Amino acid sequence: MTDTQIDFAMLLGGIGGVLVVATATGAMLARRRTSGGATPTIEHLNDRIHAWWTITALLALSFLAGRTGVIILFALCSFAALREFMTLTTKRTADHWAIATAFFIVLPAQYYFVWVEWYAVYSIFIPVYAFLLLPIIAVVQGDTDRFLIRISETQWALMISVYCASYVPALLTLRIDGYAGRNVLLIAFLIVVVQLSDVLQDTWGKMIGKHPVAPQLSSSRTWEGLVGGVASAALVGAGLWWITPFTIWQAAVVSVVIALAGFFGGLVMSAIKQDRGVKDWGHLMAGHGGFIDRLDSVVFSAPLFFHITRYFWSSV
């Protein structure tokens, strides 16, 4: 086995061991539920644990699939996420061609540009060219009713579900001295730190949270939870420095940045769901919502993590 394979196996083994213990604990707590049913706290805990099994499986698949497989995997995730997002938007018959372009031209093109490592294009393709193209396609259909809302929602769906998500596999394109062949570990670092930060923010919030960040949106997202979760994420990131090109302190600082981005990204996505009057983005993963529900924090932090790593550590 190569050093990269050993490091990845150790990481997955550690996550798997924790999940086995957590699953057993969650099952034990569920059995002790009152006659009225499991409490929301226990249900939420088990939902989180089950979601982590899914995330771990995706990490394992990413490693086994190789570079092309990782890109295809995230392209499929983007397709599913875009579908979830578009089901909650305002659409009319005149938007069908624009929607088809988003799904079957823009999405595959973005991931193709990532695959060929064409940074100059995939970094601007959606927020510049696709954003200009889609309203042109829609406007020639002649329906101007709520036009700005309709086209803006499609653009925002592409930004979140495709553009931001594509920066996860784009980490494989970075050229970092002394780190060749290990970029998949950057994906693991990003997902583990951001997702664990979510869990830890929730845990700290339940323990000591008193002051909501956005009271009208969510009473469970507190400043205490944010500070505790981000600080804990910094410790987790520092502990994982050995799978990155960062030093311990650099890993901690980067973890703080992406954990903050993930928190406020999750808050933004929650606001959109509340505006649409739904609890979850989708039901693809039974009991855990859709892809966006599980990866909303990651897609907000991925572009930031990519550009920080590219600017300070990449040779190209």
Query: For residue range 157-208, what is the model confidence (pLDDT) as tens digits?
Result: 999 999 999 999 999 999 999 998 899 899 989 998 998 888 888 878 878 8
Report the alpha-carbon distance of residue 46 to residue 27 in Å, rounded: 8
Per-residue pLDDT at 289: 63
Number of H helices, E strands in the chain: 12, 2
Q: Using only C-alpha atoms, what is the Rg of the chain?
A: 20
57-87 residue pLDDT tens: 877 877 777 888 899 989 998 999 999 899 8
Angstrom distances, CA of residue 306 to CA of 75, 168, 249, 288: 17, 8, 18, 27
On average, the pLDDT of the chain sits at 86
Q: Is pLDDT at 296 greater than 70 in this prediction? A: yes
Q: pTM for this one? A: 0.88
* Residue of 132, 160, 149 lying closest to 95 (CA atoms): 149
Please, what is the end-to-end C-alpha distance for the chain in angstroms? 29
- Using DSSP, state whether 34 is helix, strand or coil: strand
E strands of the chain, at which residues? 212-214, 218-222
Q: Whole-angstrom Cα distance, residue 254 to residue 251? A: 5
Percent of the chain at pLDDT exceeding 70 = 90
DSSP state of 213: E
Residues 6+ apart with CB under 8 A from 160: 81, 85, 269, 292, 296, 299
Looking at this protein, which amino acid is placed at residue 46?
A: N
| Three-class DSSP category at 181 | coil
pLDDT given for residue 274 in this prediction: 85
Res 7: pLDDT? 79
